[in-house]
């Protein structure tokens, strides 16, 4: 029964994320887990409850990966479903480890236990976003975008720190209920409420502070959304049609910066028709504009997921550094996976780490490609030099699912962490401009073809997260964890 309750508690977290963004559900979800863990009779039982919570959350929240495997990768439906189940079970190991350690180390009063729960949660999510290249999707902090009062903490402590605060509040609530039921509530009932009000009040106050300031005149931008399905793009019969779609969108654009999404061109750079890149350059060069487009490159037998610039400031390149396991490269011992799916350009070479920002239209622009923008600390290496952030994405592989709105919510968090506007050019959605306050200034409807004409101002200055990344939050969490460790009893001197 408790396993089922934990499973449901995990699934309850998913509405807190986009597209619904019912952010209080994150507190309810973790509150349920904390309540169950407080009643767990052993660390082994705690592990099972954490595993169930993780299965509920990830199976409900990232099941859209099934679309890429079955519809576009050609994997058999049952096998694709089993692969997703294994993937979710692996992700669930992190909350399971958190739960196991909590039950083993729990001691002391309400606040000490809530701090332990929060510290373990923060560390487990950071590990999930780091180990084996990381997969931090659905880190609980992402659910706290505005209007959540915790959003003001993003520029200070990043998504993992906000996740830790979410777990601390949820822990106070869940443990208070558990202690009241058990008749062991030692702290006055008002103390948890006061603590929660103070944390939320601090978040509100921090949201009013201008960590960065506008720098220079607004830049007109055209973000292009071709809306081309993978099966259409990679069909040789549609090659010329895809080239025409991209060229037509570039011709319609009016911005000084024009952006096509990730892998917008339907062939590696060395296999494009002679003169095609020159044609795209001519479309923008006549009015002094710059074009950024995603494209595969093919050199020395290796593919790279890259972007290049044409027109004013042409000749610059960026190659994706943080690749997607199983989608863009095969982890060791998993070569058999690619014998079961058919994904174009799926064995890629990563670009160099810490590549310099692009210099276009008098601005420094930190570019990242798709999956890379879920790693906030990596993007922060371009700060404070870069005044703008630009993401090129292609989520067409996941169909009409939660993937698009969840990814936009992640981009909003990156904008708040960095104090920089985030421009997004995507194939099928969500093409948008997210501001440093976490709000979406402009957006195209998903699964439509069009041009988003907008303007954006670069920013200067550095947020605390932009300077130090995840370290402050991790240090606090590790400190809370150390304070919770059992102390050795001193042996009296003879």
Residue 273 has phi, psi (to 5 degrees) of -60, 145
How many alpha carbons lie under 13 Å from residue 319 in its C-beta half-sphere? Answer: 15
Nearest in space to 137 (alpha carbons), one of 200, 64, 83: 64
Return the structure tokens found at 355.
């590549």
Catalytic-role residue among 262, 328, 372, 417: 262
What stretches in the chain show pLDDT beneath 50? 494
Q: Where are the beta strands (DSSP E) in 111-246?
A: 213-214, 219-225
Catalytic-role residue among 70, 125, 370, 417: 370
262 is catalytic: yes
Phi/psi-derived region of residue 192, left when phi > 0, alpha when psi is between -120 and 50, beta in every other case: alpha
DSSP annotation of 324 reads: P
Which residues, including other chains, have CB under 8 Å from residue 15's CB and lie 6 or more apart? 22, 25
Q: Using an 8 Å Cβ cutoff, are 145 and 412 in contact?
A: yes
Q: Using an 8 Å Cβ cutoff, are 386 and 365 in contact?
A: yes
Q: State the residue for tokens 């985030």.
A: 422
Q: Using an 8 Å Cβ cutoff, are 428 and 447 in contact?
A: yes
344: number of Cβ within 10 Å? 12
Q: What is the pLDDT of residues 12-41, one digit of tens each?
A: 999 999 999 999 999 999 999 999 999 999
pTM of the model: 0.94
Distance between CA 137 and CA 129 in Å, rounded? 8
Architecture of 215-462 per CATH? 4-Layer Sandwich (3.60)
Distance between CA 448 and CA 442 in Å, rounded? 15
- Indicate the SS3 state at residue 246: helix
468: number of Cβ within 10 Å? 17
197: number of Cβ within 10 Å? 12
Catalytic-role residue among 38, 70, 233, 320: 320
Domain boundaries, the chain: 2-211+470-484, 215-462
Q: Using an 8 Å Cβ cutoff, are 453 and 222 in contact?
A: yes
370 is catalytic: yes
């Amino acid at each position: 029964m408790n396993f089922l309750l934990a499973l449901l508690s995990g699934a309850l977290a998913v509405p807190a994320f986009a597209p619904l963004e019912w952010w209080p559900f994150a507190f309810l979800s973790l509150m349920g887990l904390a309540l169950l863990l407080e009643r767990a009779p052993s660390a082994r039982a705690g592990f099972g409850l954490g595993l169930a919570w993780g299965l509920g959350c990830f199976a409900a929240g990232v099941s859209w990966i099934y679309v890429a495997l079955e519809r576009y990768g050609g994997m058999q439906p049952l096998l694709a479903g089993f692969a997703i189940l294994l993937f979710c079970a692996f992700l669930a190991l992190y909350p399971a480890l958190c739960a196991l350690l909590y039950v083993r180390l729990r001691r002391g009063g309400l606040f000490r236990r809530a701090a332990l729960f929060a510290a373990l949660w923060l560390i487990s999510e950071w590990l999930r976003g780091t180990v084996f290249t990381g997969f931090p999707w659905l880190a609980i902090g992402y659910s706290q975008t505005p209007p959540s009062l915790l959003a003001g903490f993003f520029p200070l402590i990043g998504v993992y720190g906000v996740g830790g605060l979410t777990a601390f509040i949820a822990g106070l609530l869940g443990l208070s209920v558990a202690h009241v039921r058990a008749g062991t509530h030692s702290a006055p009932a008002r103390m948890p409420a006061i603590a929660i009000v103070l944390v939320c009040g601090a978040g509100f106050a921090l949201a009013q502070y201008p960590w960065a300031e506008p720098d220079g005149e607004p830049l007109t931008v055209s973000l292009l959304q071709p809306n081309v399905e993978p099966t259409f793009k990679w069909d040789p019969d549609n090659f010329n049609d895809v080239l025409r779609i991209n060229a037509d969108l570039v011709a319609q654009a009016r911005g000084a910066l024009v952006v096509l999404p990730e892998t917008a061109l339907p062939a590696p750079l060395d296999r494009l028709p002679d003169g095609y890149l020159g044609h795209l350059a001519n479309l923008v060069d006549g009015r002094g504009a710059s074009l950024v487009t995603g494209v595969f490159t093919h050199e020395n037998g290796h593919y790279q997921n890259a972007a290049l610039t044409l027109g004013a400031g042409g000749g610059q390149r960026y190659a994706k550094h943080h690749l997607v396991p199983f989608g863009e490269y095969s982890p060791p011992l998993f070569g058999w996976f690619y014998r079961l799916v058919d994904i174009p350009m799926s064995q890629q070479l990563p670009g160099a780490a810490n590549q310099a920002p692009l210099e276009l239209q008098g601005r420094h622009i930190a570019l990242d490609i798709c999956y890379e923008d879920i790693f906030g600390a990596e993007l922060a290496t371009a700060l404070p030099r870069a005044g703008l952030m630009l993401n090129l994405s292609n989520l067409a592989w996941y169909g009409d699912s939660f993937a698009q709105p969840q990814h936009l919510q992640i981009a909003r968090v990156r904008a708040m962490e960095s104090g920089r506007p985030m421009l997004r050019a995507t194939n099928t959605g969500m093409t948008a401009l997210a501001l440093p306050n976490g709000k979406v200034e402009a957006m195209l409807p998903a699964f439509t073809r069009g041009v988003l004409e907008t303007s954006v101002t670069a920013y200067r200055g550095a947020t605390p997260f932009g300077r130090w990344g995840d370290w402050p939050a991790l240090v606090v969490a590790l400190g809370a964890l150390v304070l919770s460790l059992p102390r050795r009893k001193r042996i009296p001197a003879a």
